[in-house]
Chains A and B, each alone.
Chain A
Amino acid sequence: SQQGEEDPQALSIQEGENATMNCSYKTSINNLQWYRQNSGRGLVHLILIRSNEREKHSGRLRVTLDTSKKSSSLLITASRAADTASYFCATAPSGGYQKVTFGTGTKLQVIP
């Protein structure tokens, strides 16, 4: 079974609004990563947060990690039409983190 599950599965917002996506996972992790995938293309790495970090920022992105709840959230502020894509969380398990496991993804649509 997949390690991560994203919530919601799909999200539609107006341009300028904030978008929040959540990721839950099952086992202990070394780090958690977020990726973006534009329709039918490869994934692009957005941000990595380590298990000993609680929050990280990169431009309009803010990621939080709660290891006690085994969950993470990705916030995109002031969304743009170009942010329309699917967003995946990926976890690297602790103690042998060779196999990064991807979640089910959230499909974000930003309406101009």
Chain B
Amino acid sequence: EADIYQTPRYLVIGTGKKITLECSQTMGHDKMYWYQQDPGMELHLIHYSYGVNSTEKGDLSSESTVSRIRTEHFPLTLESARPSHTSQYLCASSPRAGLEAFFGQGTRLTVV
């Protein structure tokens, strides 16, 4: 079992609401990632971080933002949720870039 946790597991929220998806890991990994995955589809990298105060946008454009104030914590925020944001969001961490990634269980977000 990987020591990386995402909350909530499921979230149904109305359009226009601000939401924060939490991701925490206890492995001391510097590298952390957010992926977006539609059901049965490939993963798209939307944000990554190489350490505290370091964040970069991924390959897929996203209206979400991230922060990395502590090594163990990498939250993702949507300022104003829309139905197009409905998806599964997966958080991962890695001890070194390009090596084995440990994934959380994911947050399935539905915006109505």
Tally of B interface residues using CB under 8 Å: 27
What's the dominant secondary structure at chain A's contact region? strand
- Would you call B50 an interface residue if the criterion is a C-beta within 8 Å of the partner chain's C-beta atoms? yes
Contact A42 B100 (CB under 8 A): no
- Would you call A22 an interface residue if the criterion is a C-beta within 8 Å of the partner chain's C-beta atoms? no
Q: 23 A-B contacts, Cβ less than 8 Å apart?
A: A2-B42, A30-B98, A33-B100, A35-B103, A40-B108, A41-B106, A42-B2, A42-B6, A42-B90, A42-B103, A42-B105, A42-B106, A45-B102, A48-B99, A48-B100, A88-B42, A92-B99, A99-B48, A99-B58, A99-B97, A101-B59, A105-B40, A107-B40
Q: Apart from A88-B42, A102-B35, A104-B41, list 20 A-B contacts with CB within 8 A.
A: A31-B98, A33-B100, A42-B90, A42-B104, A42-B105, A42-B106, A43-B43, A43-B101, A45-B100, A48-B100, A90-B101, A97-B97, A98-B50, A99-B48, A99-B58, A101-B59, A102-B42, A103-B42, A105-B41, A105-B42
